[in-house]
């Protein structure tokens, strides 16, 4: 068995704004395993500036993993705990090698084209007209759950934007989620959450920056609006530490991005702990190509979570790979008569 890796740069169709800056491209890496008769492909969805494994030795570690592929998946996962995106790429590649057709990793009604996954429509930051136009197009496209990134323009304008949606669509018609990406200061966060809660939002992701544990504890205790931890989960490797974090903060939700938290194995640990504590959860992609998105979506379907998932990112890029994944009427679907086209 041999393995090789390759870098690929995804180009955004249009600059996409977050509170951490504007994204124009997304670097990703692929692992290709060959056993002499079949090939398996996995994606290491490194996210510069966010992934815990965004470090100078990332490529050297990826090369080491490929050179030591014969150690087997379990051994490699144990040795690469600090490199969650490489762990996920390996999980994917080994599953792909075993699968019948390279890309059907978890056969189900979803991959048979007989069922769909409800997803949220993602609204990127920008000026008000741009954000309004995105919201209008998502609602027209049949989305009943919309996630809006906030924290880049002034707070009053963002509240006015959310109010304008609520004036037209009640909470029964459109579920609104917001993602602050840690944009609020701890001193102002509770007051802002009170204002946002009047708009009947579903939840807010990561209102303050990760790592401010005591401030987040106080916020989750007092908040009138459900809080979902996202970045807070990054870099917590040990299952005991994961449990300690959830017991300490006791959030209303957690959001799982497999590329950032150790793939299927790491995500499943978080899910088991959350279920134990009655904490809600959903799965979100982290701007992977359609290869990674396909693996996340197929796995997500097997979890039987009926909440809208964050899996609508495949259409963001000019140079994504043609795949059977399509977004239709606010759902992600797998069209069996469509084929993959990957040129690495």
Which H or E run contains 217? helix 213-222
> Among residues 343, 288, 282, 283, which one has the least CA distance to residue 314?
288
Query: Tokens standing for 6?
Result: 């390759």
- Going by C-beta distance under 8 Å and a sequence separation of 6 or more, which residues neighbour residue 325? 290, 293, 294, 297, 314, 332, 333, 334, 335
Q: Is 183 in contact with 153 (CB distance < 8 Å)?
A: no
Q: Is 210 in contact with 181 (CB distance < 8 Å)?
A: no
Please state, in angstroms and rounded to a whole number, the distance separating the CA atoms of residues 93 and 283: 20
> Which of 138, 147, 149, 209 does the annotation list as catalytic?
149
Please state, in angstroms and rounded to a whole number, the distance separating the CA atoms of residues 21 and 42: 28
> Bridge-partner residues for 42, per DSSP?
31
Q: Output phi, psi for 339, to 5 deg.
A: -120, 155
Q: Is 61 in contact with 81 (CB distance < 8 Å)?
A: no
> Which of 192, 209, 242, 257 does the annotation list as catalytic?
257
149 is catalytic: yes
Q: Is 284 in contact with 309 (CB distance < 8 Å)?
A: yes
Q: At what angle do helices 290-302 and 84-98 cross, to 10 degrees?
A: 80
Distance of CA 94 to the CA centre of its chain: 21
Active site residues: 149, 257
């Amino acid at each position: 068995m041999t393995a090789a890796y390759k870098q690929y740069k995804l180009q955004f169709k249009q600059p996409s704004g977050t509170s951490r800056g504007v994204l124009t491209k997304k670097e990703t890496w692929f692992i290709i395993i060959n056993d002499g008769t079949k090939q398996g492909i996995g994606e290491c969805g490194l996210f510069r500036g966010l992934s815990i494994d965004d470090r100078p030795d990332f490529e050297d570690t990826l090369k080491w993993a490929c050179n030591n592929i014969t150690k087997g998946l379990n051994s490699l996962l144990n040795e690469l705990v600090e490199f969650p995106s490489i762990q996920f790429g390996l999980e994917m590649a080994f599953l792909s090698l075993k699968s019948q057709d390279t890309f059907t990793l978890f056969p189900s009604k979803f991959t048979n084209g007989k069922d769909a996954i409800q997803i949220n429509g993602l609204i990127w930051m920008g000026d008000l007209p741009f954000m309004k136009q995105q919201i209008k197009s998502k609602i027209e496209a049949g989305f009943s759950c919309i996630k809006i990134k906030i924290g880049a323009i002034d707070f009053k304008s963002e509240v006015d934007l959310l109010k304008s949606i609520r004036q037209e669509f009640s909470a029964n018609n459109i579920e609104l989620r917001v993602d602050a990406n840690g944009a609020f200061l701890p001193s102002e966060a509770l007051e802002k959450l009170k204002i946002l809660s009047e708009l009947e939002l579903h939840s807010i992701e990561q209102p303050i920056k990760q790592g401010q544990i005591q401030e987040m504890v106080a916020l989750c205790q007092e908040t009138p609006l459900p809080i979902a931890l996202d970045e807070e989960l990054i870099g917590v490797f040990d299952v005991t530490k994961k449990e300690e974090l959830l017991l300490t903060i006791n959030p209303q939700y957690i959001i799982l991005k497999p590329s950032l938290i150790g793939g299927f194995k790491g995500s499943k640990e978080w899910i088991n702990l959350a279920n134990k504590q009655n904490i809600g959860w959903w799965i979100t992609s982290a701007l992977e190509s359609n290869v990674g998105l396909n693996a996340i979506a197929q796995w997500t379907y097997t979890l039987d979570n009926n909440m809208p998932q964050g899996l609508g990112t495949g259409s963001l890029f000019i140079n994504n790979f043609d795949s059977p994944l399509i977004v239709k009427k606010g759902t992600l679907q797998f069209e069996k008569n469509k084929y993959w086209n990957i040129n690495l």
